[in-house]
Amino acid sequence: MTRSLLAISPLLAATLLGAAVDAQPPTGNAGLVGDAARGRPLYADTFNCYACHGFDGQSGERRLVPLNYTQEGFITFVQSSPLPNMPAFPDAPAQALADIYAYIKAIPADAPALSDVPLLREILERKTRTAAE
């Protein structure tokens, strides 16, 4: 009977058998789901990200939109930033950072598409023609 309980769920088996269970959450941030509505006040008020990145994430010291990090990469970076102008937030809860990540990802980029900028479109077309020749 013990084997069948362990096969079903180690946590359930340990609980039923009276064993001590470590209630630590799983490590890693892959399972977190960010919420942009919760992230907005965290970005603007709690962590004051706007002071360096602007309220739209597209101005200031470093542009955030479009954000080229995965959620896990973003959380790791913010908690242990190696950049001198970016403070690290080692005690920032991963869920709060996931919410900020969701907020930043929800900000629409104000830059036009490359194809909408005539000079860039011409450069891309020239590059394509040259590569084909």
CATH number for the domain spanning 51: value is 1.10.760
**Domain co-membership, 89 together with 104:** yes
Statement to judge: residues 16 and 77 lie in one domain: no
pLDDT confidence of residue 29: 67
Span 14-31, average pLDDT: 44
**What's the Cα-to-Cα distance from 49 to each of 56, 68, 78, rounded to whole Å?**
10, 17, 11
Residues ≥6 apart with Cβ < 8 Å to 58: 64, 65, 107, 109, 110, 111
Of 46 and 109, more confident = 46
Pair 22, 48 in one domain: no
Q: Do 55 and 95 lie in a common domain?
A: yes
How buried is residue 114: exposed, middle or buried, by Cβ count under 10 Å (0-12/13-18/19+)?
exposed
Residues 21 and 68 in one domain: no
Residues 6 and 46 in one domain: no
Over residues 66-83, the pLDDT tens digits come to: 888 999 999 999 999 999
Q: Return the pLDDT at 28.
A: 64
Q: Assess if residue 120 is contained within a domain.
A: no
Is residue 16 over pLDDT 80? no
7 and 40 together in one domain? no
Q: pTM, whole model, 2 decimals? A: 0.64
In this prediction, residue 36 carries a pLDDT of: 96
* Number of independent structural domains in the chain: 2
Same domain? 91 vs 51: yes
Domain residues for the domain of 70 are 36-114
Shared domain for 64 and 22, answered yes or no, is no
Residue partners of 93: CB distance under 8 A and separation at least 6: none
What pLDDT shows up at residue 114?
66
